[in-house]
Amino acid sequence: MQLNHSGLRFVLRRLLQALPILIGIAVLNFLLVHLAPGDAATVLAGESGGAPPEYLAQLRAQFGLDQPMYLQLLRYLRNMLTLDLGYSYRHGETVLALILDRMGPTLLLMGLAFVFSICGGVLLGIAAATALNGWRDRLISVLAVVTYATPLFWMGIMLILVFSVKLGWLPTSGMEDVVAFNTGWARVLDIAWHLVLPVLTLSLFNMAVYTRMMRSSMLDQRGQDYVLTARAKGLAEAVITRRHILRNALLPVLTMAGVQVGALLGGSVVIESVFAWPGLGQLAFQSLFARDYNLLLGIFFLSACLVVVVNLVVDLLYSAIDPRMKLG
Amino acid sequence: MPRILATFRAVIGTAVIASLGLTGAAYAQKRGGTLVQLTSPEPPTLASYMNTSFAVPQVTGKIYDGLLEYDFSLKPQPSLAESFTVAPDGKSITFKLRHGVKFHDGSPFTSADVQFTFMDVLKKVHPRGIGALRELEAVETPDDYTAVFKLSNPAPYIVMALAGADAPIIPKHVFGTGDIRNHPNANKPIGTGPFKLVEWRKGEFIRLDRNPDYWRPGMPYLDRVVVRFIPDASTRTALLEKGEAHLAGYGTVPFAQAKRLAGNPNIEVTTKGYEMFSIIESITFNTKRKPFDNVKVRQAISYAIDRQFIVDNVYFGYAKAATGQISSNFAPAGFYTNQVKNYAVPDNLAIANKLLDEAGLPKKDNGIRFETTLDTTAAYGEYYQRSAEVVQQNLARIGIKVNIRSEDVATWLNRVFTQYDFDMTEVGLANLADPVLGAYRALHSVYIKQGAVFTNNSQWSTPRTDELMDAAARELDPAKRGALYKELQQLTAEAAPAAWYVETQFPTAYSKKFKNMITSPQGLQGSFYSTWLDQ
């Protein structure tokens, strides 16, 4: 793939097309979030174990919740246009600062899980398809079904119980050892160590999806005419698999991966809760229950942006894997 | 001089001696070590002067001192105030402040800080302070080490609300400039307490290090306290079991898992440290709605609820049956009585059925008298849902069909306390350190206020009970107060605006390597200056 003139134009056009979609999402999110009964002031008072009405009125005025909804929406959209995501009164910080703070850990977790699940899924799929109905195929297929059917949170807790509590090999939770206060390479290693279980948990579900998909896709491609042709030309089976079948079989997996990014974000909410990972998922979860509108909307908005960008990247990858596909 | 004052003096005298003795015996305590404490959820802020979410003081209680602290029988003990005297008419309280105390930024603590904290901050923006300090008119500062509270009416409960967790003393020279509601130092607390804030990495941990200039000589013993936020209950338990974390309480450890942790030889599980919290769980009735406007219906339901079953099976023993809105933790103070209408009688179901018949709600052909909804929320823990299920089964036995509606906390608060759109709901109210601070809001007619959460949502009141509560709030003699509360408890048990079912006794789990962990009736919200690690 070369990002030549037309490629660049394609990217720009796609980004431009995304703008109205993102604005639509922002408005829709705003309305949906405000449909839920109760507001941030009530929640804060509730958490405080009660508060007099004076206190609540004070909070509402401070948060701007005493204004009519359409004014709040207009103000929100105006702020969005200047890339101002607002202020979280609950946290006493700007939404952007809060999100940027949490973005790193989530991208690290999601990115690794994304790569790991695709690579693992593709490899396992190939391994299964090339040993059709053998023990290897059966084993992989059974494992895929089991991991697909296991709820994420349960898988996470079981892995913690086995590998942390019983065997003591891996840390239970968090992103790093908060008592050690490591720096430099020691810290990097420590974080890598803490990544093992959450990445594994988050990957397993998607890996199962990709494994099954890759397997059936490989089998499907193997029966195609071009494979017969290749075989008739006398190419070795390994070469046919690697150079012909693989490329074509990869495409549906890639499509699926693009769609699954949103699901991955959802999964990271669960994983971050189980492993106390300091990421966006946890923040979103908390802000939903606290009716921290500004923060919640900010997270939704950035997630939408992320999905748009990943799908764009997937489309670019498409043309890299299969040069017959033109960007446009 | 009223007797109460003499008692306080005597108590403070002994406390000073006791604390000197403690310092003398300090050779046994070792210095050093890091305590890892778990909370969930993460505190939204460290501005404990305007947010009392229960996770907040678990951190700030170690950073900010109060004027006083309390022993397990809820008697005031010296802290930043070395002593206090209540004027004979009860309308002023004089605090003698400790000399030589420094804030974490090195500046001295004086009476100006006390005046600023109470008049400009707690009285204006503290969720409970607005109510608790209603009678406080002014704080006079005749000199740097004397602060005089001027009250419009006697308010003996005020001296019960002065711990660092509830009423943190904050420095005027820092918080006095700028808007207190939006202060840049909100999350950079500066107190006089044994630990200082070093770092708050959101979503991960809060790190507190020892305050080398702490006013209690040689203390604190611990080098560091790290507070971690672990959202998942099973993970929290795993951390405690593995020894990666050392302390958790306040429902952070679910009741069922506390039982399991108690079997671990390295872990101590205690129910001490909630004496100033005292949650009473109840089913409150919407007394403005049929058929709950009928006292017989409310009594029938109170009879039908099997309190001991809930204690044993929902709370795994970490609770005891409740008799009313006032906690039995006030028994030492003389404010609690169990001489009230007893609903836990052997023939409870027969009585309940009879009452419902009398109320004109006979059993129909399908065995059901009427159908109703019980509102609850999952936000505070699984035990709310489980209790609701028990109540559902209990009431089925007397022909009341209960539908459980479980909502998220914002929706539930809005329904129950703003819209009053409910039949029955589960409400847990903390009694705090005094009935005035905790119980009144559930029973007094001035607290029938739509939109104010955790108040009198049953909308029940009588002139006599209001009168009793008003009189008790101003009564300086504990014995007379006790008599007023006895009548209040009897009247409310009879009227049954709520079916009080348990007094929660939260379990705190901690590593046995640590000593002096729970030393105050505020438990995890205490300041931990005497906690030490036996390595």
Give helix then strand counts, H and E, for chain B.
17, 21
CA distance A115 to A113: 6
Shortest Cα–Cα distance, B113 to chain A (Å): 23
- Choices 3.40.190.10, 1.10.150.240, 3.30.70.1730, 3.40.50.2000: CATH for B28-63+193-272+509-534: 3.40.190.10
* Residues of chain A contacting residue B201, judged by C-beta atoms under 8 Å apart: 278
User: How open is the CA angle B119-B124-B130, to the nearest 5 degrees?
Assistant: 100
Q: Note the pLDDT of residue A1.
A: 45
Which range has highest mean pLDDT (A72-86, A243-257, B382-396)? B382-396
Mean pLDDT by 10 residues, chain B (535 residues): 44 42 56 92 87 88 96 92 94 96 96 96 87 92 96 93 93 92 89 95 91 94 94 88 91 88 94 91 95 95 96 94 94 92 94 95 92 89 90 96 91 90 94 89 89 88 95 93 96 96 94 94 93 90
ipTM value > 0.85: no
Q: Note the pLDDT of residue B4.
A: 46
Work out the pLDDT band at A4, boundaries 50, 70, 90.
Answer: low
The count of domains in chain A is 2
Q: How many residues make up chain A in this entry?
A: 328
- The DSSP secondary-structure symbol of B503 reads E
Whether residue A187 sits in one domain with residue A48: no
Q: Note the pLDDT of residue A3.
A: 53
Is A278 a residue whose pLDDT tops 50?
yes
* Residues of chain A contacting residue B44, judged by C-beta atoms under 8 Å apart: 44, 47, 90-91, 290
pLDDT tens-digit series, residues A92-135: 788 888 888 888 899 899 889 989 999 999 999 988 988 888 89
Provide the whole-model pTM: 0.82
Pick the residue of B39, B123, B166, B202 with the most A CBs within 10 A to test the interface with A by mutation.
B202
Whether residue A191 sits in one domain with residue A48: no
Pick the residue of A34, A43, A96 with the most B CBs within 10 A to test the interface with B by mutation.
A43
CA distance B83 to B77: 8
Q: Note the pLDDT of residue B395.
A: 96
| B182:A174 CB<8 A | no
Q: Are B58 and B269 in contact (CB under 8 A)?
A: no
What are the Cα distances from residue A199, in Å, to A159, A204, A246, A309, B454? 11, 8, 26, 22, 42
Instruction: Give the closest of B229, B242, B414 to A42, CB-based.
Output: B414
> Cis bond leading into B41, ω under 30°?
yes
Work out the pLDDT band at A328, boundaries 50, 70, 90.
Answer: low
Question: Domain ranges in chain B?
Answer: 28-63+193-272+509-534, 64-183, 279-504
* Residues of chain A contacting residue B130, judged by C-beta atoms under 8 Å apart: 51-52, 54-55
Whether residue A301 sits in one domain with residue A201: yes
Tokens representing A298?
């900010």
Whether residue A248 sits in one domain with residue A151: yes
User: Which are the contacts of A140, defined by CB distance < 8 A and separation ≥ 6?
Assistant: A124, A127, A128, A211, A215
Q: Is B186 on the interface with A (CB under 8 A)?
A: yes
| B127:A46 CB<8 A | no
pLDDT tens-digit series, residues A157-169: 888 888 888 888 8
A55 domain residue, yes or no = yes
Give helix then strand counts, H and E, for chain A.
13, 2
Work out the pLDDT band at A327, boundaries 50, 70, 90.
Answer: low
Whether residue A138 sits in one domain with residue A77: no
* Residues of chain A contacting residue B455, judged by C-beta atoms under 8 Å apart: 50
| B181:A52 CB<8 A | no
pLDDT tens-digit series, residues A203-227: 988 899 899 999 999 888 888 888 8
* Residues of chain A contacting residue B244, judged by C-beta atoms under 8 Å apart: 171-173
Q: Which of residues 349-388 of B touch A (CB under 8 A)?
A: 379
| B232:A153 CB<8 A | yes
CA distance B111 to B102: 13
CATH no. of B279-504: 3.10.105.10
Q: Environment class of residue B534 by beta-carbon count within 10 Å: exposed (0-12), middle (13-18) or buried (19+)? A: exposed
Q: Note the pLDDT of residue B25.
A: 46
Whether residue A69 sits in one domain with residue A115: no
CATH of the domain at A187: 1.10.3720.10
| B204:A175 CB<8 A | yes
Q: Environment class of residue B510 by beta-carbon count within 10 Å: exposed (0-12), middle (13-18) or buried (19+)? A: buried
Q: How many CA atoms lie within 13 A of B485 on its CB side?
A: 28
A17 domain residue, yes or no = no
Q: Are B150 and B138 in contact (CB under 8 A)?
A: yes
Q: Note the pLDDT of residue A326.
A: 67
- The DSSP secondary-structure symbol of B30 reads P
Q: How many CA atoms lie within 13 A of A16 on its CB side?
A: 6
Whether residue A257 sits in one domain with residue A316: yes
A59 domain residue, yes or no = yes
Whether residue A215 sits in one domain with residue A138: yes
Q: Note the pLDDT of residue B518.
A: 94
Q: Which residue has the higher pLDDT, B86 or A75?
A: B86
Domain that holds residue A264: 102-321
A250 domain residue, yes or no = yes
Topology of the domain covering B64-183:
Dipeptide-binding Protein; domain 1 (3.90.76)
Phi, psi of B503, rounded to the nearest 5 degrees: -100, 115
| A276:B228 CB<8 A | yes
pLDDT tens-digit series, residues A295-310: 888 888 888 888 888 8
Q: Are B522 and B326 in contact (CB under 8 A)?
A: no
